[in-house]
Amino acid sequence: MKDYTKILRDKKISPSIQRIKILEFLDNNRTHPTVDEIFSSLIPIIPTLSKMTIYNTLKLFSAKGLIKSIPNSENVGHYDYKVTPHSHFKCRKCKKVYDIDVDLGVTIGTNIDGYQVDEYNLILEGICKDCKK
Amino acid sequence: MKDYTKILRDKKISPSIQRIKILEFLDNNRTHPTVDEIFSSLIPIIPTLSKMTIYNTLKLFSAKGLIKSIPNSENVGHYDYKVTPHSHFKCRKCKKVYDIDVDLGVTIGTNIDGYQVDEYNLILEGICKDCKK
DNA sequence: ATATAAATTTAGACTAATTCTAATATTGTT
DNA sequence: AACAATATTAGAATTAGTCTAAATTTATAT
């Protein structure tokens, strides 16, 4: 069992029960959940939980580099526990989003055409293994 | 001056004045505009224009491959006239989005780990030339 | 050309995600 | 324990986008 309190303290975030549970949820659910999904999952555990807290917390976690918001075209925020850089593949049929590793020639911290690259997001789209069968 | 009527006809889209002007605007404004920006720019030209028409038109153009919607983390749709594949660089300081060319080892139409890739979107983030000065 | 059908555009109501705000609760510090 | 600082909360407000049904425009057949 991971010590989320310590992870938060290390990032100078005071570890409220809400923050601990949100971080734990994101770590255990690598499905790029939305605020609504996080809310529905945690409301049984923290009955007073407000969505505002989730919005605040996700913004704070993103700023501290604990999580990442995933660019998408649906106008709903999706969030991901931050681990080693990886890319996303979205299936056009089943709409599922998979984590995949792609060796793209971009290195964090280097310059491309004079632009200093601190982060990248690669989203591939197409048909997934299961849907092609 | 490009013949947008012809471009639309070639894609089997009947060329209403609204559609022509929206396509022309996207071609001349490669700044990944939102529906609101398109609306404000065209309302002086087409005073009866409705936002619904813009939403409908952008959806139609995307389906026909004339334009692309750009994944982002702000929950507002951004659209781009579709040209040869290119990537986007978003500056964390000035928030501008630049078109850039990155040679990433992904080829449209091929398989990666069994996933059939039909399209990709690469968004780089960092500090742009101007802001680094 | 005219009548009719089909497609497009429109305004306004509606929904859903997010932000704002101000009050309350919690936490940390002396 | 008292106080200040921080975090959480509910609900109102905002905003992007969708839905709907009527009105307009366009295309087709006579």
Q: Which nucleotide is nearest to A77 (CA to C1')?
A: C17
Kindly state the percentage of chain B with pLDDT values over 70.
100
pLDDT recorded at residue A54:
98
- Give pLDDT < 50 ranges for chain A: none
Which chain A residues are within 8 Å of B101, Cβ to Cβ? 113
Structure tokens at A85: 């850089």
Structure tokens at B33: 């505009």
Nearest-angstrom CA–CA distance, A42 and A54: 10
pLDDT recorded at residue A1:
76
| Beta partners for residue B68, in sequence order | B80
Contact A49, A39 (CB under 8 A): yes
Distance B21 CA to C21 C1' (A): 41
The answer to whether some atom of strand D lies closer than 7 Å to the beta carbon of A49 is: yes
Contact B94, B59 (CB under 8 A): no
Nearest-angstrom CA–CA distance, A117 and B90: 9
Specify the amino acid at residue B61. Answer: F
The whole-model pTM stands at 0.92
Nearest-angstrom CA–CA distance, B18 and B25: 11
pLDDT recorded at residue B84:
81
Nearest-angstrom CA–CA distance, A104 and A126: 18
Nearest residue on chain A to B107, alpha-carbon basis: A124
Nearest-angstrom CA–CA distance, B54 and B40: 11
Nearest residue on chain A to B118, alpha-carbon basis: A126
For A74-105, how does the pLDDT look when each residue is reduced to its tens digit (9 = 90+)?
Answer: 999 999 998 788 899 999 988 899 999 887 87
pLDDT recorded at residue B1:
76
pLDDT recorded at residue A71:
96
- Distance from the B1 Cα atom to the nearest Cα atom in chain A, whole angstroms: 31
Nearest-angstrom CA–CA distance, A124 and B107: 11
> Can you give chain A as a three-state secondary structure string?
CCCHHHHHHHCCCCCCHHHHHHHHHHHHCCCCCCHHHHHHHHCCCCCCCCHHHHHHHHHHHHHCCCEEECCECCCCCCEEECCCCCEEEEECCCCCEEEECCCCCCCCCCEECCEEEEEEEEEEEEECHHHHC
**CB contact (8 A) between residue B122 and residue A104:** yes
